[in-house]
Structure 1
């Protein structure tokens, strides 16, 4: 009965997961994109890191604006930077676009750092909101390499790219070179005075008003922008792009890996529940998808694995918490070094020049504390309860021997396996103290006969 119930439960769970996967697949592949009228202003928004998913989104926005003959494509940008390969793909698309592309760093408080600086200077028109900044584009050693030759090669390559883009768009190539080599950054006023951007606008309406009548040079020749009174349409990420972009957030990837570990651990200590194990496997697979795209330091992954191993071992041996402390140290170091470069001395550390791919220290500390609490309290208590449960005695069965405690005429009491049982003797009776053989057991009563 239990096996049948288990199979039924597994079947229902499998059908539920299959239905959920189908619904998710349909949702991810459903991408409504109604065509807009020619002359419409397209507005795309990027807030976060520049990764392969956001690069795909921006290239799709450029292609759509080209196909629908949009007046202009406005990219509202707020980014700490991103991957070099994704940045180069987007800048190539912007330089080859027929539609004028305007990059607007906003709203106030936004930034266009690192790879974002390249996107800004590659635009036909570069604009910033008050209270924003741009620059700090020195390439970061994502793999943790401190080889001066490799660092110099990366810096020279990035600097030459910045100079040629700036020169093509008529911007200050010397400042772009310094932004790469010296990690300089500028406010919107400083960038405007230095010839890095073209204008400063309070908001999107002010930007469109200043763009009206402006002449830009596209690959098809000079083009006059007509933005006054034009309608605009938002070009948003599809659901699939939004989900994948969220997965590529280092904090989300780190959280998924740990959630997967907790799920597998719960399944290990409580086998048969299925849900924690399946959830853990799914979370780990999704986390590995992110790790396969992000710049990962695999030595840090080894530290995380070591931390989990130390936590597990500590609950099985008497180490007085020493292994748990070592596990917590390994976990914190692994989390801090998982994506961030670790060859920058702390006195040279610049948040704008640092890699945008890093895990929040608060998240690392919180999960480390949760791991320690889980292993030192919950798992240890569960193992203690498991060890404290006495082993179940074997039940009397046919062929086992017993001793009559009372006369069996025919009913009485026998002693077997340190327990007294009610018993019924076969015809002939049994005296107290005589050995008997169990013939059968019916519930809590034994049927016995005198031992031959």
Structure 2
């Protein structure tokens, strides 16, 4: 099967899977909304979190909990999610369920409280560019300040959050200069950055809402497509295909398949 066929089949699969009913359509008051933050954080994830938090508000949820397991992703997407958490009208908590790296750490710190499963980690939030190299100081500075602000809002030591972004920051007893900070569960608990819980039952018990029904949220079809198209592997493919299609069309003037495919790919790239 060619790469083009695989690409088309993937989009069709995303569409078909997206029409599965959303469990949130069957609501009950007093539920705890379980919002998964899984895989790469991209622009398609932000609308999903915004919709989930709005549904939690409308349906009288007692809390929303972000179930985080992510290697990180786009800073702009994480900032949009952090803003949605700040504006939420229901209490929002984070459950670091193994890993909250990079942009995932920002999302976790945006919540009212961070819970971590034993053996989990959070941090390593230095922004990088497409090549994997450290981003320019302008971007690093913005991320550093954002992390500080989130920590200050929660009454935490802002320098700890900043040390997750900038390896030049030293925090006595936590991290020395020259090393980027990533906290284990026990380390985060020791400095007041997190509460350790074994599982969901323990988390709900700590919040005083044990026995509350869990309402698992799912990505809908539109969000699924946007997440697929904004995936860091798919997006560059769309951009390359778009330019190749336009180049082929220029060399062979006329409204051909190459030109149409190029324009469609660019529309999907910039539209997602």
> Which among 218, 221, 230 is matched to residue 248 of structure 1?
230
* In structure 2, C-alpha distance between the alignment counterparts of 1:25 and 1:235, rounded to whole Å: 18
Partner of 1:191: 188
Q: Does 1:211 align with 2:223?
A: no
Tell me if the contact between 1:248 and 1:293 (Cα under 8 Å) persists in the aligned partners. Answer: no
Rg larger for: 1
Partner of 1:82: 73
Partner of 2:270: 292
| Shift in Å, 1:142 | 3.8
Q: Deviations over 1:260-312 (max 9, x none)?
A: 99xxxxxxxxxxxxxxx97x889866754564379xxxxxxxxxxxxxxxxxx
Q: Does 1:136 align with 2:124?
A: yes
User: Greater RCO between the two (CA within 8 Å, min separation 6)?
Assistant: 2
| Shift in Å, 1:244 | 2.5
* In structure 1, C-alpha distance between the alignment counterparts of 2:211 and 2:191, rounded to whole Å: 31
* In structure 2, C-alpha distance between the alignment counterparts of 1:243 and 1:25, rounded to whole Å: 7
* In structure 2, C-alpha distance between the alignment counterparts of 1:174 and 1:79, rounded to whole Å: 23
| Shift in Å, 1:136 | 0.8
Q: Does 1:37 align with 2:37?
A: no
> Which among 87, 94, 113 is matched to residue 96 of structure 1?
87
* In structure 2, C-alpha distance between the alignment counterparts of 1:246 and 1:256, rounded to whole Å: 11
Partner of 1:200: 196
Q: Which runs of 5+ in 2 are unaligned?
A: 1-7, 168-179, 244-255
Partner of 1:229: 211
1:218-367 alignment, distance < 5 Å: 227-253=209-235, 288=266, 291-292=269-270
Partner of 1:153: 138
Normalising by structure 1, report the TM-score.
0.47
Normalising by structure 2, report the TM-score.
0.74
The number of residue pairs the alignment matches comes to 239
1:292 counterpart SS class: helix
1:75 counterpart SS class: strand
Q: Does 1:118 align with 2:106?
A: yes
Q: Per the alignment, do residues 128 and 136 of structure 1 end up closer, same or farther by CA in structure 2, a change over 3 Å counting? A: same
